């Protein structure tokens, strides 16, 4: 039997952290005995967080509709002026739609990363400000800026500004349609089976993570700007199309391309089609999404790399009336990426131009009301081996040149109040960057990156 300490699980550190965190949680709870989950959407609608989320960020059918309608639904008083003759109207929230999120966390990997201390406490891991709510009768936003404690600055985070009209009709059936301006492909999506709002909901910013990821699987997040249109017909069929250009946060404008791995040539189209159906206790969605991008690494001229991602996804939420309306959720997605990295190959960054990457992710979650949830998820990435693209490097590299990684993530989240979250998450790797043992050619095993992650999240 291996002693716990040598397996990297520092119980004494956990106890010290618990001694620090628990009084804070109680202080928050006791100082606000009537505290409700009151981020700005909740304040705007007069509804509890659990109306839109099974537990955040997982959307209920009402939450999906709220997002589809451009975050505009409100029951609260507004400053109004009617649209009449040559005069435009005004529908302004009386309360400014501002919210705050604060994350503190503890991360420990099974074995320390070379020459670093294991057991990292981040206070905060990050803190976010949201401008989230209705700007008018048809326009609303989810805008997030986040302070990153490692970078020690605020930066623009996920953004989705929408204009929507929910009073259309097509072939005698209701049609909701609108436009979205956003900075992360799939951030505008309504389901939690696509990458931007997919599982795991939270994660360590300290622990190593596999190096290969499809461009649509978070790689382009906050590095692009897009404009698109979407429509939901008859509450069943959903279509969405967005075109993206590179928009490097902190980079010069006009974009010279230097020092940025992806510089979109022309525009990169993203597409999404989904079908959903519902009964009183069942909500089912199946869909497809994808993206095509031509990009030149570190430049804006010359040869191009080409990427095409196509994906399928599903989501099923089952409400169980016999168990006080607990909800059991199943979600999954498969992403296939085909790439022709002509520019990278010419620059000596890839052993061959043609590559592909297969990503499978799935998870099942049980929600005990809105108070507790337990989730188990798995992931598997395979693809073309390329010793230059996935080169050896301690911890982060691949000794075999393979992008393959396999693992699982277990999460238990407790919400003593709908806006206070305590979570514990364990990520285990069976294979990391191509192998289970000595994956980086520096003697590290995949299991050494197994990560225990504790989270305290406050949203108000």
Partner 1 sequence: MHSKIARAALIIVVAGFGLAAARRVRAQNDAAKAYKANCVMCHAANGSGDAPAGKALKAKDLRTDQTQKKSDSELADTIAKGKGKMPAFGAKLSPDLIKSLVAYVRDLAKK
> Quick one: tokens of 183?
């900075």
Using the minimum distance from each CB to partner 1, give the nearer residue, 176 or 406.
176
- d(CA 99, CA 71) in angstroms, rounded, equals 14
Sign of the Cα pseudo-torsion (204, 210, 216, 222, in order): positive
Query: Smallest gap, in angstroms, from Cβ of residue 252 to partner 1?
Result: 44
Burial 446-459 (b: 16+ CB within 10 A, else e): bbbbbbbbbbbbbb
Give the contacts of 176 (CB within 8 A, at least 6 positions apart).
68, 69, 164, 165, 166, 168, 231, 232
In the complex with partner 1, which residue's Cβ is closer, 62 or 366? 62
Provide the minimum distance between the beta carbon of 137 and partner 1 in the complex, in angstroms, as a whole number.
7
Minimum Å distance from CB 180 to partner 1? 19
**Alpha carbons 345 and 349: distance in angstroms, whole number:** 5
The answer to whether the CB of 176 falls within 8 A of the CB of 109 is: no
Structural element, H or E, at residue 458: strand 451-459
How far is Cα 37 from Cα 43, in angstroms, rounded to an integer?
Answer: 9
Of 344, 191, 389, 218, nearest to 272 by C-alpha is 191
**φ, ψ for residue 61, nearest 5 deg:** -55, -35
**Closest CB 76 distance from partner 1, rounded Å:** 5
Least gap, CB of 377 to partner 1 (angstroms): 24
Q: Shortest approach of partner 1 to residue 55 CB, angstroms?
A: 15
Q: Which is nearer to partner 1, 5 or 318 (CB)?
A: 318
Tell me the CB-side half-sphere exposure of residue 399, using CA atoms within 13 A. Answer: 16
Helix (H) or strand (E) segment spanning residue 22:
helix 11-31
Between residues 16 and 65, which has the closer beta carbon with respect to partner 1? 65
Is the CB of 46 or the CB of 394 nearer to partner 1?
46
Q: Which residues of 273-282 are buried (b: 16+ CB within 10 A; e: fewer)?
A: ebebeeeeee
Considering beta carbons, is residue 83 or 259 the nearer one to partner 1?
83
In whole angstroms, the minimum distance from the beta carbon of 133 to partner 1 comes to: 14
User: Within its chain, how far is the Cα of 123 from the centroid?
Assistant: 21
166 versus 358: smaller Cβ distance to partner 1: 166
Binding site for partner 1 (CB under 8 A): 45-47, 51, 60-62, 64-66, 69, 73-78, 137, 166-167, 174, 235, 276, 278-280, 283, 319
Q: Whose Cβ is closer to partner 1: residue 68's or residue 196's?
A: 68
Q: Which backbone phi and psi does 68 adopt, to 5 degrees?
A: -55, -40
Nearer to partner 1, 39 or 200 (CB): 39
The CB-of-169 to partner 1 minimum distance in angstroms stands at: 9
Residue 44 CB, nearest approach to partner 1 (Å): 11
Judged by DSSP in three states, 37 sits in coil
CB 197 within 8 A of CB 89: no
């Amino acid at each position: 039997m291996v002693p716990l300490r040598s397996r990297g699980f520092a119980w004494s550190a956990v106890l010290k952290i618990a001694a620090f965190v628990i009084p804070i949680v109680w202080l928050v709870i006791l100082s606000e005995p009537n505290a409700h989950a009151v981020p700005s959407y909740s304040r705007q609608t007069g509804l509890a967080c659990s109306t839109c989320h099974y537990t955040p960020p997982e959307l209920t059918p009402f939450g999906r509709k709220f997002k589809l309608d451009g975050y505009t639904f409100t029951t609260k008083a507004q400053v109004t002026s009617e649209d009449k003759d040559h005069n435009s109207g005004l529908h302004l929230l009386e309360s400014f739609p501002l919210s705050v999120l604060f994350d503190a966390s503890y991360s420990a990997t099974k074995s320390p990363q070379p020459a670093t201390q294991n057991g990292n406490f981040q206070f905060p891991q990050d803190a976010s400000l949201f401008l989230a709510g209705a700007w008018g009768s048809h326009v609303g936003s989810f805008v997030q800026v986040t302070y990153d404690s490692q970078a020690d600055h605020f930066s623009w985070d996920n953004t989705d500004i929408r204009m929507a009209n929910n009073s259309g009709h097509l072939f005698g059936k209701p049609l909701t349609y609108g436009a979205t301006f956003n900075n992360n492909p799939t951030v505008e999506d309504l389901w939690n089976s696509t990458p931007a709002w997919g599982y795991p909901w939270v994660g360590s910013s300290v622990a190593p993570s596999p190096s290969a990821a499809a461009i649509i699987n978070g790689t382009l997040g906050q590095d692009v700007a897009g404009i698109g249109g979407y429509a939901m017909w008859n509450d069943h069929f959903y279509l969405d199309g967005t075109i993206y250009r590179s928009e490097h946060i902190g980079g010069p404008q006009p974009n010279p391309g230097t020092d940025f791995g992806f510089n979109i040539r022309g525009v990169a189209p993203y597409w999404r089609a989904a079908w959903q159906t519902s009964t009183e206790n069942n909500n089912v969605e199946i869909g497809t999404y994808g993206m095509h991008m031509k990009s030149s690494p570190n430049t804006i001229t010359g040869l191009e790399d080409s990427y095409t991602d196509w994906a399928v996804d599903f989501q099923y939420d089952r409400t169980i009336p016999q168990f006080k309306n607990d909800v059991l959720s199943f979600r999954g997605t498969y992403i296939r990426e085909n790439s022709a990295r002509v520019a990278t190959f010419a620059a000596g960054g890839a052993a061959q131009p043609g590559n592909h990457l297969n990503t499978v992710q799935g998870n099942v979650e049980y929600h005990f009301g809105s108070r507790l949830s337990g989730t188990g998820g798995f992931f598997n990435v395979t693809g073309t081996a390329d010793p230059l693209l996935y080169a050896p490097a301690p911890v982060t590299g691949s000794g075999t040149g393979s992008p393959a990684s396999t693992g699982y993530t277990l999460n238990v989240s407790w919400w003593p109040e709908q806006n206070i979250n305590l979570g514990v998450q364990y990520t285990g790797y069976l294979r990391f960057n191509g192998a289970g043992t000595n994956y980086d050619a520096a003697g590290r095993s995949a299991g050494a990156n197994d990560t225990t992650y504790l989270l305290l999240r406050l949203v108000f």
